[in-house]
Amino acid sequence: MQAELHGTHPARVASTPFTESDWERVGGTLRALRELRGYRPEEFANHLGISRSYLVNIEAGRKKLTNVMLARAAETLKVPQIAIMRPTDAPSITATAGGTA
């Protein structure tokens, strides 16, 4: 029971099908969309509710983008969440200044 309370029970450990290179791709996509929309890192981090240094780590693939941050990023950038998370072999979603494809 003690292990379960501290999140070490195998059934409670969060896992992700993403590899390190997947997170690097997601971070690179996020950075590219941020730059396309003209957001400075500090400004965009404020929209996500995180520090600039945390954003830099996400964009470099060193930190993972949480579901909450993903939702905030997609809303701020006016793109569907899948446009940030999609694999590189998925159909391309064109981001325009108006946020429509």
Per-10-residue mean pLDDT, the chain, length 101: 45 58 92 96 96 97 93 96 78 48 43
The Cβ-side half-sphere exposure at 55, using a 13 Å CA radius, reads: 21
Q: Is residue 100, in this structure, part of any structural domain at all?
A: no
**Would you say residue 16 lies in a domain?**
no
State the residue range of the domain holding 77: 39-87
Query: Does 66 reside within a domain?
Result: yes
Task: Assess if residue 78 is contained within a domain.
Answer: yes
pTM exceeds cut of 0.85:
no
Q: Is 81 within the bounds of a domain? A: yes
**Domain CATH for 47:** 1.10.260.40
Cβ pair 38, 31 in contact under 8 A = no
Total count of domains within the chain: 1
Task: Flag whether 65 is in a domain.
Answer: yes
The per-residue pLDDT for range 54-69, each reduced to its tens digit, is 999 999 999 999 999 9
